[in-house]
Each structure stands twice: as C-alpha cells, then as structure tokens.
Amino acid sequence: MAFENLTEKFQRIFKKLTGQGTLSERNMQEMLDEIKVALLEADVNYKVVKDFLNDVKQKAIGQEVLTKVNPSQMITKIVYDEIVELLGSNKTEINYNKNKPTIIMLVGLQGSGKTTTAAKLAYLMKNKLNKKVMFAACDIYRPAAVEQLKVLAKQINVPVIHEEGLSAVDIAKKAKEVVYNEHYDVLIIDTAGRLQIDEALMNELNQIKKEVNPDETLLLVDAMAGQNASEVASTFNEKVALTGVIMSKLDGDTKGGAALSVAKLTGLYIKFVGTGEKISDLDIFYPDRMASRILGMGDVVSFVEKVKDTIDEREAKKQAMRALKGQFTLDDMLKQLKQIQKLGSLGGVLSMLPGMPKINDEQKQRVENEMKNFEIIMDSMTLEERAYPEILKNSRKVRIAKGCGKTAADINRMLKYYDQAKMMMKQFKNKGGFGGFGGFGGKFPPNFGGR
Amino acid sequence: MGLIKFLKEKFSKKKEEKELTKQENNISEVNEQNDSKLEENNNIKKEEDLNKLNDNKNSDFDLKKYDKGLEKSRKSFADKLKSLSKKYKKVNQEYFDNLEEVLIEADVGVKLTLDVIQELLEKSKKEKLEDPEEINELLIDILFLKYVKENEDKNLELKFGSKNPTICLIVGVNGVGKTTSIAKLAYRYIKQNKKVLIVAADTFRAAAVDQLEIWAKRINCDIVTGLNNQDPASVLYKGLEKAKNENYDLVIIDTAGRLQNKVNLMNELSKMSKVINKLSPDSIKETLLIIDATTGQNGVLQAKSFYEATGLTGIIITKMDGTSKGGIILSIRDELGIPVRFIGLGEKIDDLELFDLEKYLYSLCINKD
C-alpha cells in the first residue's frame, strides 16, 4: 500500500513543531491523529485505539520535551513504551509441572494454524527442552486433519493418540490416561477450528477442559487478522478461560495489530509467535519488537541491540569523529560494510531499520550483492586510492577493474554511492544522527541497489 | 442480471429525487399545500422501488441462505447502525464519527472509510438529509456506486469456452480455506452438469492431498494427485494433459498456501501460471484468490502480490458465517479493482454462493427485524 510510514509522517509534522518545549493537547493532536491512523492500518481494533490513545494523551500532557529529542520522538517513545507494557513481558514461557505431565490445549478459528503450531511446539519442547511429548488429535471434523497431524508428528517422531469413532472429549481423556501411565512430560491437544459463536463446539472445548484439566489453554491468533480478532479472543476467553495466546503467520508482511487488541481486551500474554513454514519456526514473543512493528517504525530496538553486540565501540567512536569532521573515506565505508556484514544477513538488518519498510526480498538480495561487489572492488585498490577516491581517473579505474574482475561501470557505481554516503554523513553532522552509523543508520542513498 | 437493473434504478431514482427536490423548492414558494401530495408521491415511489428490489432478490436466488450465513456478521454491524439512528434524531458530526467507526470495525480500511465518509458528508449536505435512516441509505448507495464498474461483465459464474476446458487456479495465503472452497466450487459445477477435474497441486502441506481426496470422493469428482513435495508444476502438467485428453469442462487446481512476501514461493506460482498458458493456450483461464473474511488490512497486500504473480480474475471471500464482516474486499476493489466472484457462507458443501453486492451491503447494513 502506498501509505507513508509513520516515521516519514512524523518528519513532516515535526517541521511545524520545532522549538516547542512542552507537550500540550494542541501540539500533540496532529501526531496522535497520525498514530491513530497507523494503529488502525495495523489492524488494531478501533475501540482499543481510542482508549489507548486517551491513556497516552493523559500521560503525555505537560511532559517536558527532553532537550535532545523533538516532540514527535517524545510522543513516539511514550506510545511505544505504552504498547510494550500492554503486550507484557517476554518471560511468558510455559510452566512445566514437575511431577506430572503438562497438558496444553490449542484452540482457535479455522485456519489459524493450530495443527502446524502443535507440531512446532512439540519440536521445540522435544529438541530444546528434552521433553517427552505426545499429541492428542481431537479435530474429528475437518477431512484429513488427523492425517495432517500424524504426518507432522512422524517427522519429529512424536506419537499421536487418536481413535476413529471416538468423540473429541473421549480422545482427550484417553490421551490423558496414556501420558500419565507412560510418564510423558507434555500432552498437546489439537482441537478442531471453530467459530467463537458456535455454541455446540464451544461446549465441546469446555467438556475437554473439564475432563483433562489442561495447564494451558492457548488461543491461536492469525497475525493477519483484522478488527474482529478482539471479539474472537474475548469470546474464547469468556467461554473457555484461556491462559495465553500464540500468534501465527508473523513471517508475513502484516503488522499484526491484532496482538495489541487481544492484549488490551483480554489481558493475556502472547507466549509464542509462528515465524515460518519450517517445523523449527516458532519463536518466543518480544513485546518491544512487536511494538515497533505495529507502529511501522522498524525494529529499532532489536537493531540497536544487535549493533551494540557486534561493533567495537571504540572503532565506532573513531569513525563517528572522523565522519563528523567530514573526513569520510572509502576505507571508512569499507569498514562500515564489514561491520554490517558481521551483523549477519543484510536483509535481516535492513528489515529492522526504520524508514526501510518497502524493501522486498528481491531488493534486499540486490543490495547485499552490491555490498559484496564494493568490497571486492576496494580490495583491489591501493591505500592511497581508498583514502582519496578523488584521484581515481580512468587509467586507475581500468587497472582496478582488471584486478578485481569487475567493470568500470561497477566502480563508478560504487563511487557514486560513496559520494551519496558522504553527503549523508555531512547531513548527519548537521542534524546530529545515528552516532557511528552514519550512512547506514538512517537511510541508504536513494538509488542504492537500484538499477 | 440484477445488478445492472438495480444500478439503473439507482441512477434513475437519484435523478428523480433531484428533480423532485427542485420541484419541491419551487412549489413551496408557490403553494405550501401541495407539499403533502408530493410527499405521498415520494412515498409511493419509494415503495415501488422497494418492491422492485424485493423482486430482484427473490428472483435471483435463495436469499434465505445468504441471510442465514451472513446473520452473524450482519447482526452486529446492522445493530450498530440501528442503535445509532435511534440515538440520533438528527445527524451531527458525532454521527459521522460513529459511522466511521462502524466501517473501520468492518475492516473496510482507513483510506476507503475516510473517502466514503467525506462523500457522505458532502452529499448529505447537498441533499439536506438529516434523518439518520436516510443517511444510512445514502451510505449504502455510496458504497455500492464505488464498487460497481460500468463496463464490467456482471455474470460472476466461471466462464466456459465451447471447446477447451476452463482452467481455474486457486491461490491464497495459508489457512484461508482454499481446499474447502475448491470442493464447494467443484460441487457447484458438477451440479451444473459440467465434467470437473480437481488437481491437487498442494504438495507441501501435510495431508493437503488427503483432505482434497476425501472431498473429491464425497462429491464424486475426479482428482489428479502427486507425491509429497513433488514439484507442483509437474502435478499440474499431469492434470492438464488428462483434462485435454478426456474432455473435461473445468479443471480446478489447488495450490499450497503461501504468504505473499515469500519471493520464491510466489515465483513458483508464476511458473505454474506459465505452465497453464503454455499447455492450454486456448483455454479460458480463471485465477481466484481466496480471502478469509477475518483478514485485516494485509488483504490488500495479498491481493496485490498475487495479482502480480499470476493475475487474478476474482476473489472468493470465505468464512462469512462468522462475526467478521469482510470489509477488506471493498478496499481491494477500491485499490485494485478485483471483483468478488463467490462468497463462502458455511462449512457445508453447498455453502458457496455467487457474490451479490446489493445483498452483501444490504444484509450488512439493514436489519429486518
């Protein structure tokens, strides 16, 4: 969608607000309106947005704007913190019983990912926590649902309890007996998808609950779910008393605002998120990352953390100083490239950066290739050339091209990028920016990686 | 079809109303007594329109099933509108704010909602409407006119050529109901005496083929399957060959669910689409995207990406028997112009209907009891 992201919008609004020292109702309103739209576009429920922004407003009014930030950054931080708090802590893993099996029941709408998630959970518990796991296949309605669980179970070598002709309740009961008798650690009950308003099927869930008394009843929420997710979660919670939520399909490009609606309305925490189609693609939930994602501001926090771990601070400082003085050489650029490569796949880093939401996988791949090219080219340059790229004339370019097996056009493209990165450095110097990160912290030069 | 008729009536009704209001002004200047007569005329006109509308509904197809399926989604939406119009004797800004909320909560999306509300504001001012009921009517009108395109084929059934089988590729993200919709679609055309072949090209998801095989058996439909993790294009190839050799009328192809930002998987889909074009160049090709009614704003991105990968000739909106309103289809239509062809209204095999916009909007917005 051709929506501006929140960061861009804020930059626009911010221009009007420069120099205002305190947050007031008036100067906040436009930003709050933008945040409202951003949250709605992220599928956070309308009522939740309304309540939520009211809370934020109450908290923000009268706060002094810290000297180093602008009002929009201030508001963003307040909103962000508030979302993180609502989404809860990330220490929400499952509590395992010590002397008896832990029973987990998965519930949700049709197609929300119960069966796949059951397999992922089992894999995680079995392989990472060394638990002895068993499935109960209680979806007796959808054609081949049991078969689906059986196929997945076989891949990870987990037994399945199911018997043709038995009711879902009886299957669960039987499974409970088996896990108790055979000393399993965990029983995962896969149930049929159902509408929250289907009385008969909701009763079935309660029956199962009564018979097997699960330690956890987890609701699957599709990350792509819209406004109605809040009602679904509330009703499920009312009728079967949930203990937590798993959000599936978060590897898509949806913002996942449903997470916020569900958290606000049910007070339940998200325990896991599904992040891919492989059986190992189940991750614990990070409220801070989710908050940035919902706000559409890139995964700033994770990025900063990752950067901190990887980069030698002193080196970064040295570079920052040089950059601030305007001495940004090809060498500096190469160092930056290498540091960024150390962060792992550039694609991953890029997707975490604010201001880069529209890059797709293909483009990411292209940028990554481009970076590799630069490095190869620079390896064929003399130290002098790297320090003073201005001296690169045609004859030198031909030599370098021969040396690295690239064309002169490749070299020119790199130099063009260097010029742009240098320009950005200067801009950062003037505005004060992303510390040692200069060229890569904020944005890539506009045509970087493009053709 | 009913839609064209309805549209024409809508337009003509508008014109008449405009003329009437003009007349009204003139008359009131001259003689106040005539007003009551005019009102009477107006009422008669409206009643006629309503009757025509009902005729359309009854003649086209089974409204009851539609109503029943949509009951839950309709209820909350319509209740909201109703309680709104009860609360307000005259509309004010707050009323419009509330309408905005109703639309957004139906997943219509911020942009389209704001557009629609803006238009509603302007039109109601122009026509001096203050009665909430009338405003609600106008809202439906606007939504309707925004959706309808003049030069579009109003027949939503799958198209059939005289010689070659129609090839229908079914695509969508994970868990939206592709497999079930395929069974329903196959059943629909078997009932219309077509020779239907299902191709189970979802070789990725565990037991997807089994699921489809069970359905095929239940509805007595032929099916071509492949092995697990086999290249789906090769299953497709097998299916298309069979369809050609054995004179099928319709081939419905199941594909694995995929999130639209997975480049490789989308490329795989493009490849399948190319295989179809190459093997059956003279066939009519339908590519239907399945959208789950619970989908939020991501639905537009879904439609866009799948459109780019395979082209789309329509949408099937599924799970409309729940409490979700599926408003995202209006956004998709608004932004990409892709029409909804079918609507899934329940778990039974015959719970698939042609999409009827007027019924969709009316059963969402007007509560009959």
CB contacts of B204 in chain A (<8 Å) are 277
Q: From B185, B204, B176, select the one nearest B268 (Cα to Cα).
A: B204
The mean pLDDT value for B251-280 works out to: 95
ipTM strictly over 0.90?
no
b/e A165-192 (16+ beta carbons within 10 angstroms → b):
eeebbbbbbbbbebbeeeebbbbbbbbb
Q: For residue B297, give the nearest of A41, A47, A142 by CB distance.
A: A41
* pLDDT value of position A107: 98
- Across residues A152-167, what is the average pLDDT? 96
Contact criterion met (CB < 8 Å) for A253 and B106? no
10 Å Cβ neighbour count for A5? 18
Q: Which amino acid is present at B34? A: N
Tell me the C-alpha to C-alpha distance, in Å, between residue A358 and each of A18, A147, A355, B155, B299: 28, 39, 8, 37, 16
Question: Model confidence at A162, in pLDDT bands (50, 70, 90)?
Answer: very high
Q: Which of B362, B298, B354 is nearest to B109 (CA)?
A: B298
pLDDT at res. A444 = 43
Longest dimension (CA), chain A: 83
The domain spans of chain A are 4-87, 102-291, 304-450
Q: How far is A181 from chain B (nearest CA, A)?
A: 30
Chain A residues inside the 8 Å CB shell of B176: 111
Can you name the CATH fold of A4-87?
Four Helix Bundle (Hemerythrin (Met), subunit A) (1.20.120)
A402-449 pLDDT per residue, tens: 888 888 888 888 888 888 777 776 665 555 444 333 334 333 444 443
List, in order, residues 6 or more apart from A26 with CB less than 8 Å away.
Answer: none
Chain centroid offset of residue A349 CA:
12
Q: How high does pLDDT run on average in chain A?
A: 80
The pLDDT confidence band at residue A368, using thresholds 50, 70 and 90, is confident
Band (pLDDT 50/70/90 cuts) for residue A18 is: low
CB contact under 8 A, B298 and A43: yes
For residue B71, give both structure tokens: 């009951």
Cα distance between residue B15 and residue A61, in whole Å: 51
| Closest to B188 measured CA to CA, from B150, B153, B215 | B215
pLDDT tens per residue across span A335-358: 776 666 555 555 555 555 544 444
Q: What is the rounded CA–CA span in Å between residue A258 and residue A41?
A: 11
Query: What's residue B367's pLDDT?
Result: 42
Radius of gyration (C-alpha) of chain A in whole angstroms: 27
Give the pLDDT confidence of A58-87 residue by residue, as tens digits. 888 777 665 555 666 677 778 888 898 889
Residue of B105, B204, B289 for testing the chain A interface, max A β-carbons within 10 Å: B105
Which has the closest alpha carbon to A299: A355, A366, A361?
A: A355
Among A391-395, B105-109, B166-170, name the one with the lowest average pLDDT.
Answer: A391-395
CA A327 vs CA A324, A330, A422: distances in Å: 7, 10, 9
The minimum CA-CA distance between B34 and chain A, rounded to whole Å, is 47
User: Between A299 and B344, whose confidence is greater?
Assistant: B344
Instruction: Enter the tokens of residue B173.
Output: 């993200």
What was the pLDDT predicted at B51? 46
SS3 A108: strand
Does the structure show a pLDDT above 60 at B350? yes
Long-range contacts of A376-380 (CB under 8 A, 24+ apart): A376/A404, A376/A405, A376/A406, A377/A404, A377/A406, A377/A410, A377/A411, A377/A414, A378/A330, A378/A334, A378/A414, A379/A404, A380/A404
CB contact under 8 A, B296 and A150: no
Query: Alpha helix (H) ranges present in chain B?
Result: 2-30, 34-60, 63-87, 93-105, 110-126, 132-147, 178-191, 208-219, 232-245, 263-279, 298-310, 328-336, 357-365
What percent of chain B stands above pLDDT 70?
74
Residues of chain B contacting residue A247, judged by C-beta atoms under 8 Å apart: none
Phi/psi of residue A76, nearest 5 degrees: -55, -40
Name the H helices within A43-139.
Answer: 46-60, 71-87, 114-129
Q: Do B259 and A252 touch (CB under 8 A)?
A: yes
CB-side neighbour CA atoms (13 Å) of B292: 28
Report CB contact under 8 Å: B259, A148: no
Asked whether the beta carbons of residue A42 and residue B297 sit closer than 8 angstroms, the reply is yes
* pLDDT confidence of residue A30: 79
- In chain A, residues with a C-beta closer than 8 Å to the C-beta of B208 are 144, 148
Nearest C-alpha in A relative to B260? A252
The pLDDT of residue B63? 59
Query: Considering only CA atoms, which of A92, A38, A57, A60 is closest in space to residue A293?
Result: A38
pLDDT band at A185 (very low <50, low <70, confident <90, very high): very high
Lowest mean pLDDT among A261-270, B18-27, B249-258: B18-27
CATH architecture under which domain A304-450 falls: Orthogonal Bundle (1.10)
CB B358 within 8 A of CB B137: no
Q: Does residue B262 belong to the interface with chain A, where contact is any CB pair within 8 Å?
A: yes
**Under the phi-then-psi rule, with left for phi > 0, alpha for psi from -120 to 50, and beta for the rest, what region is B326?**
left
Q: Which of B205, B215, B297 sits opposite A226 (nearest CB)?
A: B297
Q: What is the pLDDT of residue A305?
A: 47
Ramachandran region, residue B32 (left: φ > 0; alpha: ψ -120 to 50; beta: rest): alpha
When CB atoms are compared, the residue of A40, A47, A148 closest to B110 is A40
- List Cβ neighbours of B135 (8 Å cut-off, separation of 6 or more): B85, B91, B95, B99, B120, B124, B129
User: What span, in angstroms and rounded, lies between the C-alpha atoms of B203 and B201?
Assistant: 6
Q: Write the DSSP string, B116-180.
A: HHHHHHHHHHHTT---HHHHHHHHHHHHHHHH--TTS----SPP--SSSPEEEEEE-STTS-HHH
Task: Let me know if domain A102-291 sits in CATH 3.40.50.720.
Answer: no
Same fold, A102-291 and A304-450: no
Q: What average pLDDT does range A359-370 have in this prediction?
A: 67
